[in-house]
């Protein structure tokens, strides 16, 4: 998917169809604030693409909030994995509670 999302005051171009090796070996995703872009390696399994998308979006949150400091990568890695599981394990709740209007 290629689309635009909004994080804080800025619109970001999102692309989860990027080729493997775009950023060297084993890259999964990039949050690129200077270009307002999020890029995801589209060759990964779909669940990994979605979890990585959350991870990069959370880098955007951290950028806006500026609160995580040295531990940003570890905190975002853990929180994005938990958030991905929460969303996928609680689809009915997510739909009824947050997406009902």
Q: From 16, 70, 77, select the one nearest 41 (Cα to Cα).
A: 16
Q: Is 15 left (phi over 0), alpha (psi -120 to 50) or beta?
A: beta
Please, which residue, 64 or 95, has the CB nearer to Zn ion? 64
Handedness of CA 15, 34, 63, 72 (dihedral sign): positive
Site residues (CB under 5 A) for Zn ion, limited to 42-101: 73
For the bound state, the minimum distance from the C-beta of residue 44 to Zn ion, rounded and expressed in Å, comes to 15
- Comparing CB distances to Zn ion, the nearer of 71 and 92 is 71
Of all residues in the shown chain, the one whose CB is closest to Zn ion is 73
Q: Which residues bind Zn ion (CB under 5 A)?
A: 73
């Amino acid at each position: 998917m290629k689309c635009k999302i909004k994080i804080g005051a800025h619109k970001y171009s999102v692309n989860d169809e990027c080729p493997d090796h775009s950023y060297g070996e084993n890259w999964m995703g990039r949050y690129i604030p200077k270009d307002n872009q999020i890029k995801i390696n589209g060759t990964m399994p779909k669940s990994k693409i979605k979890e990585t998308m959350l991870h990069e979006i959370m880098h955007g949150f951290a950028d806006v909030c500026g609160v995580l400091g040295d531990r940003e990568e570890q905190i975002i890695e853990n929180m994005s994995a938990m958030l991905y599981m929460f969303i996928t394990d609680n689809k009915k709740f997510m739909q009824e509670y947050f997406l009902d209007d």
